[in-house]
Structure 1
Amino acid sequence: MWTDTHCHLDAAEFDADREAVVARALAAGVSQIVIPAVEPANFDTVRGLAAAHGFSYALGIHPLYVMRAPADALAQLGKALQAHRDDPRLVAVGEIGLDFFVPGLDADTQQRFYVEQLKLAQRAGLPVLLHVRKSADQLLAGLRRVGFSQGGIVHAFNGSEQQAQAFIALGFRLGFGGTLTFDRSLQIRRIAAAVPESALVLETDAPDIPPQWLYKTAEQRAAEPGQRRNESAELPRIAESLAALRGWSLAQTAAATTANAHAALPRLAALR
């Protein structure tokens, strides 16, 4: 059975057929999905979806949402973590982090939200789901500055081998998904093949980061606007790319990545 450690099941892209999306995931053998929040406005939504479907969730403020966050957003997160501290489906603080790829985001505001959310996670005894885009070194610096000791998952890892080893040394697992399925993703594929077995977890980031077979070229998008939606049911096929890189069977890949997800997010193990 498979664990999708990062899927935005609450996204509007799933509004028309969310129940069918869940059914396809379960039919494909994806028995657990972690649903991360992105802002206080969707805290209750992700919690409700997790409860309704037997999945799990994380609460946090995404770096792309910090510029529109209400003044008391961090206080709201702190209260939510306290209110739901005994909910076994609350497995992490996330999605949090830094994004220096998207223009127009204030770096200082991002850093403040990132560090304060690390502190909240530390106090709550919860791991974190880290968003990283052109920000791995700054994320690592924040972890060290806070003395963060709860570990977690570096979502959609896209850094260097040196950065991968630095995150692993701090107790993190690395999330791999659709990007892994592209032959041109040479560095990511090389890292996925080389890091210790215990460092690897699988994710979709659905509805985003479509794997190679769902991706449209610029020419295809011009002829048929829109990107084909990713979903959790694609995870076993994504896992085939990891299995090929590691020389593993699919059963070995499922067992290893699920065990690693449980190690990264300890409350997951109790939800089996």
Structure 2
Amino acid sequence: MIDSHCHLNFSAFNSDRKQVLQTCTERGVSSLVIPGTQANSWDNLISLCKRSTRLNFALGLHPYFLDDYCESHLQQLDELLTLQKGHVVAVGEIGLDFSLSIDSDLQEQVFAAQICLAEQHDLPIIVHHRRSHNALIRILKEKCFGNGGIIHAFSGSFQEAQTYIELGFKLGVGGIITYPRAKKTRAVIAKVPLTSLVLETDAPDMPINNKQGQRNSPIYLPIILEALQALRCESAEVVKQACWQNTLDILANIKR
């Protein structure tokens, strides 16, 4: 299994990161993708991932951290994408979060600029969304972005899912589907093409059902897979293999 979205570099894992990776191995989680979130953490993220053949990194400016944004961050990102060509798997985590107090125009400006960088460096993108599907889809269409990517923690409508899929994106399937009350998202994930789904935990955030209030971890990815297998009409092994291949298809630079 591949965890396509996990923040293993966050301080929540400082005390037991090595043990978490060992438990991942025991549970069949063989690769992890760690998205970047802010410029001042990119170097440490790259260093962490280069110490393990199982860790992969993306680089991006997350809307949550734009309070300290300056234009030089985009230049720094451009330079790192060039320097890390063949190693970086995507531009991300980028996107729009309209639940934040951060100016929406600034969010859209930075998101659009990072789409352009992804296009220039021939990379997919990993997209954060919250109350922002319409704006995200509008910008992706305006930019004619053709490299696709992953819509992280997808929780939109079936129509929105179809639109993203038509634009070349996979949908990130995380802990939300382990909650019986998440009926809308579970119904959409059960219905979309299997070729459009990838697994993720978003650890240490987005805990699975019955783990509320606890640190989320990539060791729980098999539980998310089991929940997905229960929703789908295909056999469990077909679902597992498809999620693996879908991730490799969209993030071509993943270490193998």
TM-score normalised according to structure 2 size: 0.97
Root-mean-square deviation (CA, aligned residues, Å) is 1.0
Q: CA deviation at 1:110?
A: 0.3
Of the three residues 97, 100, 103, the one matched with 2:98 is 100
Question: Which residue in 2 is equivalent to 1:214?
Answer: 211
Q: How far does the alpha carbon of each residue in 1:12-32 deviate from its partner, in whole angstroms, 9 at most, with x for none?
A: 111111111111111110011
Query: Kindly tell me: are residues 53 and 250 of structure 1, through their superposed partners in 2, closer, same or farther at Cα, counting changes over 3 Å?
Result: farther
- Work out the CA distance in 1 between the residues paired with 2:206 and 2:235: 24
Q: Does 1:173 align with 2:170?
A: yes
| SS of equivalent residue, structure 2 residue 57 | strand
Matches within 5 A, 1:157-196: 157-196=154-193
Whole-angstrom CA distance in 2 between matches of 1:48 and 1:23: 19
Q: Measure the CA separation in 1 of the matches of 2:99 and 2:162.
A: 22
Task: Measure how far apart 1:247 and its partner are.
Answer: 3.2
Q: Secondary structure at the match of 1:75?
A: helix
Name the CA distance, whole Å, in 2 between partners of 1:157 and 1:110: 19
Contact kept in structure 2, 1:63 and 1:96, CA below 8 Å: yes
Deviation sequence 1:220-267 (CA, Å, 0-9, x none): xxxxxxx20111110011111100000344322220101110111122
Question: Which SS does the other structure have where 1:34 is aligned?
Answer: strand
Native 8 Å contact 2:2 2:29 kept in 1: yes
Aligned structure 1 segments of 4 or more residues deviating by more than 3 angstroms: 247-250
* Alpha-carbon distance in 2 for matches of 1:267, 1:76: 21
The SS at the match of 1:97 is strand
In structure 1, distance between residues paired with 2:46 and 2:180:
36
Letter in 1 for 2:66: V
Single out whichever of 51-60 and 5-14 deviates more from structure 2.
51-60
Aligned to 1:69: 69
Distance 2:240 2:253 in 1: 18
Number of the residue aligned with 1:56: 56
Contact kept, 8 Å, 1:3 with 1:33, in 2: the verdict is: yes
Q: SS where residue 89 of structure 2 aligns?
A: strand
Q: Given the alignment, which residue of 237, 251, 260 partners 2:223? A: 237
1:163-192 per-position Cα deviation (integer Å, ceiling 9, x unaligned): 100000000000011101000001110011
If each structure's helix is expressed as a fraction of its own residues, which one has the higher value?
1
Q: How many Å apart are 1:8 and its aligned residue?
A: 0.3
Paired residue type of 1:134: R
- The alpha-carbon deviation at position 213 of structure 1 amounts to 2.1
Which aligned pairs between 1:103-118 and structure 2 lie closer than 5 A?
104-118=101-115
> What SS does the corresponding residue of 2:150 show, helix, strand or coil?
strand
State the match for 2:23 in structure 1. 24
Q: Which moved more, 1:248-257 or 1:131-140?
A: 248-257
Number of residue pairs the alignment of both structures matches: 255
Unmatched 5+ stretches in structure 1: 216-226
Question: Offset at 1:74?
Answer: 0.9
For 1:42, the aligned partner's letter is S
Say whether the 8 Å CA contact 1:62–1:97 is kept in structure 2.
Answer: yes
Counterpart of 1:173 in 2: which secondary structure? strand
Q: Is the 8 A contact 1:121 1:127 kept in 2?
A: yes
Q: Residue 86 in 1 paired to residue 72 in 2?
A: no
* One-letter amino acid of the structure 1 residue matched with residue 17 of structure 2: R
Aligned partner of 2:237 in structure 1 is 251
Runs of 5+ unmatched residues, structure 2: none
Q: Distance in 2 between matches of 1:25 and 1:238?
A: 14
Contact map agreement 2:86 2:253 (CA 8 A) in 1: no
Secondary structure class of the residue paired with 2:51: helix
Task: Name the SS for the 2:117 alignment partner.
Answer: helix
- Of 120, 124, 148, 1:123 maps to 120
Task: Say whether the 8 Å CA contact 2:35–2:57 is kept in structure 1.
Answer: yes
Contact 2:198 2:247 in 1 (8 A): yes
Give the Cα separation in 2 of the matches to 1:121 and 1:187: 31
Residue type at the aligned position of 2:58: A
| TM-score after normalising by structure 1 | 0.91
Q: Secondary structure at the match of 2:102?
A: coil
